[in-house]
Amino acid sequence: PHLFNAQFGQRKVVEVQVNPEMSREEGEEEAAKYCRVIGQIPGFLFRDLDTVWLHRGDNAFGGGNRNLLIHTGQGERYIADGLLGEVFLHEAAHTSMDAYHQDNSSWLAAQAADGQAISRYAAEFPRREDLAETLPLYLAVRFWSHRVPQHIVDSVLTTIPNRVRY
């Protein structure tokens, strides 16, 4: 792979591993584009992030294993739909939160007390996807509620109040 180091803040260095299906120049350009957005996620989501894998294609993004996985074809659709930042919040939750929270008894109690999930995807895969689906909406309600339509804020607070408190 083509290897690049991306520095986030004063101390965090993440290795970007670009599939050699791209030229070094193309890989560097793509890495810079995605790292600009990754650099906007909250600092706590960098806790376990060591690498970013960058590939061409329309396959899904991924998180976990101390990594963020990007496929540029899918990434272009996320960019066009204005969802790239939200997707990185979701995937970085897998990378830096799942190991600490998805099996935590308090998180599991909050899930049970709420009795429903924030999305169909979270409901279908409660252990694997609920935390990652919840985090972007929690952050929106907690820190950016002035930028979110009130009906969405109300929906989050009434659908998953115990997870929000957690």
pLDDT tens figures, 66-85: 999 999 999 999 999 999 99
pLDDT single digits (tens) 8-66: 999 999 999 999 999 999 999 999 999 999 999 999 999 999 999 999 999 999 999 99
* DSSP 8-class letter at 44: G
Eight-class DSSP state of 119:
S
Type of residue at 75: G
Determine the Cα–Cα distance for residues 152 and 136; give it in Å rounded to an integer: 12
Give the per-residue pLDDT at 152: 95
pLDDT at 108: 98
Q: What's the whole-number average pLDDT of the chain?
A: 97
| 97-135 confidence digits (pLDDT tens) | 999 999 999 999 999 999 999 999 999 999 999 999 999
* Confidence bin at 163 (pLDDT 50/70/90): very high
143: three-class secondary structure by DSSP: helix
Q: Which residue has the tokens 């820190």?
A: 143
d(CA 165, CA 148): 19
Radius of gyration of the chain (CA): 17
pLDDT digits (tens, 9 = 90+) for 90-104: 999 999 999 999 999
What is the Cα–Cα distance from 55 to 115, expressed in whole angstroms?
38
- Name the token pair of 104: 């935590």
pLDDT at 32: 98
- Looking at residue 161, what is its pLDDT? 98
What is the pTM for the complete model shown?
Answer: 0.95
Indicate the residue type of 131. L
Q: So what's the pLDDT on residue 93? A: 98
- Residues 137-157, mean pLDDT to the nearest whole number: 96
Pairing of strands 67-71, 51-55: parallel
Pairing of strands 12-18, 51-55: parallel
